Structure 1
Amino acid sequence: MKGGCMKEYLPLGSVITLKNGSKRLMIVGRLQNQIGSNDIYDYAAVLWPEGLVDSKHFYLFNHEDLDKLYYIGLQDMEEFQFRPVLESKLNETVHKKKA
């Protein structure tokens, strides 16, 4: 994750492909830590249409890795009210990396 300003994160349920990827993925998490490291990724996703096949297999990637957007997930009032929480988490992450 680069930068410190709030980007427009795709909502959960969005279906995408990654650059150099052929399989579609569905976003199931945002601002995700990789277990065993300090790396933070913009998104976590699972295979689409298979879904979560194994709890150890999530795809972690950043916004700049996206190639194609097939479907935008649910955007309602609850999603828009949650975005400041994401922004706060992003700011905390950026400050921790600088410290």
Structure 2
Amino acid sequence: MEVNRLLPIGTVIRLKEGKKRLMIFGIKQLDGEDEKIEYDYAGVIYPEGNIGLKSQFLFNHEDIEQVYFRGYVDIERQRFIKKLAMVIKNQEEQQEQQEQQEQQEKDVV
């Protein structure tokens, strides 16, 4: 998903087939058990908030059924999103270069 389409923290949503609403409190989160898996969002149940690990959920944008409230956006968030987009672009370029190098090494063998 494009970084500039990510919902801001504070956004209240309901997931597809979800019963409780969630409030987004983080974006671009890594899975604690497998850091190769990245999710668009981390959320906590709403209105209770963070009442322990069992109340925290990782999910992707396509998992969202409905947006009830869009979180706060200001110039600071806009700058953050621009920086995040650059970091992700650099990571993707590095990954692509690494894959090309590995393929070249395989071709030599």
- Which residue of the other structure, out of 10, 13, 37, is the alignment partner of 1:13? 10
Question: Once the 2 structures are TM-superposed, how far is the Cα of residue 67 of structure 1 from its aligned partner?
Answer: 0.4
Question: Once the 2 structures are TM-superposed, how far is the Cα of residue 80 of structure 1 from its aligned partner?
Answer: 0.9
Deviations 1:31-51 (A, max 9, x none): 000012010000000000000
Q: Please list every run of at least 4 consecutive aligned residues from structure 1 whose deviation after the TM superposition is greater than 3 angstroms.
A: 92-99
Flag the structure with larger Rg: 2
* Equivalent runs, 1:1-99 vs 2, <5 Å: 5-37=2-34, 38-55=36-53, 57-92=55-90, 94-95=92-93, 99=99
Percentage identity across paired residues of the two chains: 38
Could you tell me how far apart the structure 1 residues matched to 2:58 and 2:76 are? 24
Would the alpha carbon gap of residues 94 and 58 (structure 1) be closer, same or farther in structure 2, given more than 3 Å must change? farther
| Aligned residue pairs, count | 96
Normalised to the residue count of structure 1, the TM-score between the two structures is 0.83
**Structure 2: runs of 5 or more not aligned:** 100-109
Would the alpha carbon gap of residues 21 and 56 (structure 1) be closer, same or farther in structure 2, given more than 3 Å must change? closer
**Structure 1: runs of 5 or more not aligned:** none
Could you tell me how far apart the structure 1 residues matched to 2:93 and 2:32 are? 20
Question: Once the 2 structures are TM-superposed, how far is the Cα of residue 92 of structure 1 from its aligned partner?
Answer: 4.8
Please tell me whether the aligned partners of residues 45 and 55 of structure 2 are also in contact (alpha carbons under 8 angstroms). Answer: no
Normalised to the residue count of structure 2, the TM-score between the two structures is 0.76
Could you tell me how far apart the structure 2 residues matched to 1:22 and 1:57 are? 13
Could you tell me how far apart the structure 2 residues matched to 1:52 and 1:77 are? 27
CA RMSD of aligned residues (A): 2.0
